């Protein structure tokens, strides 16, 4: 059973991992829960997609060939500070500099926990998002 994606509204999730199998599994899991998913196999590709597209949440592995999830989180928070970044790692140890990410979750956990965490971070973002005024040109 998949956790209902309550309040997801097809949110766009960016998954970053250099392991293609892991990306495919996460993509299937998230899409079945009602999310739209983009995948990147490197931090550079992920950062480019993040900069160019209206990403609602980032789910990144911590240990990548060219960097770490916390490094990516730091860069992304400088660009779009309100977009949640979830570090998803095979290690059980919370990484140093986790302060740049919104949350850490071990890959060894239940897939339902991942979906619940993603949905909660998205709801939190929507609740705390700054209100934008509707300004029309005269």
Q: What pLDDT is attached to residue 129?
A: 52
Predicted pLDDT at 8: 60
pLDDT exceeds cutoff 50 at 136: no
Which positions ≥6 away from 8 have C-beta within 8 Å? 33, 34, 35, 119, 122
If you write DSSP's letter for every residue of the chain in order, what string do you get?
-----TT-TT-EEEEE-S-HHHHHHHHHHHHHTT-EEEEESSHHHHHHHHHHS--SEEEE-SEETTEEHHHHHHHHHHH-TTS-EEEEES-SSPPTTGGGSSEEEETTS-HHHHHHHHHHHHHHHHHHSPPPP-----
Q: In the CATH hierarchy, which fold is given to the domain comprising 12-128?
A: Rossmann fold (3.40.50)
Is the confidence at residue 137, as pLDDT, over 70? no
pLDDT, tens only, 119-134? 999 998 776 554 333 3
Please state the pTM of the whole predicted model. 0.84
pLDDT at 96: 78
Q: Which pLDDT score is estimated for 10?
A: 84
For the chain, the domains span: 12-128
Average the pLDDT over 1-6 and give the result: 40
Kindly state the average pLDDT of the residues 37-41.
Answer: 97
Q: Which two tokens stand for residue 126?
A: 């929507």
Give pLDDT tens digits for 67-106: 899 999 999 999 999 999 999 988 777 777 788 999 999 9
What confidence category does residue 1 fall into, taking pLDDT thresholds of 50, 70 and 90? very low
How far is CA 85 from its chain centroid? 5
């Amino acid at each position: 059973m998949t956790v209902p994606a309550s309040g997801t509204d097809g949110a766009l999730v960016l998954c970053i991992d250099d392991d293609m199998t892991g990306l495919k599994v996460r993509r299937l899991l998230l899409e079945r829960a009602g999310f739209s998913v983009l995948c990147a196999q490197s931090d550079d590709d992920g950062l480019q997609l993040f900069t160019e597209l209206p990403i609602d949440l980032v789910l990144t592995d911590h240990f990548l060939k060219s960097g770490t999830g916390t490094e990516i989180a730091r860069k992304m928070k400088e660009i779009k500070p309100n977009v949640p970044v979830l570090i998803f790692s095979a290690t059980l140890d919370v990484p140093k500099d986790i302060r740049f990410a919104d949350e850490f979750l071990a890959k060894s956990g239940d897939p339902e926990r991942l979906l619940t965490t993603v949905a909660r971070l998205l709801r939190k973002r929507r609740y705390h998002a700054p209100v934008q005024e509707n300004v029309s040109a005269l």
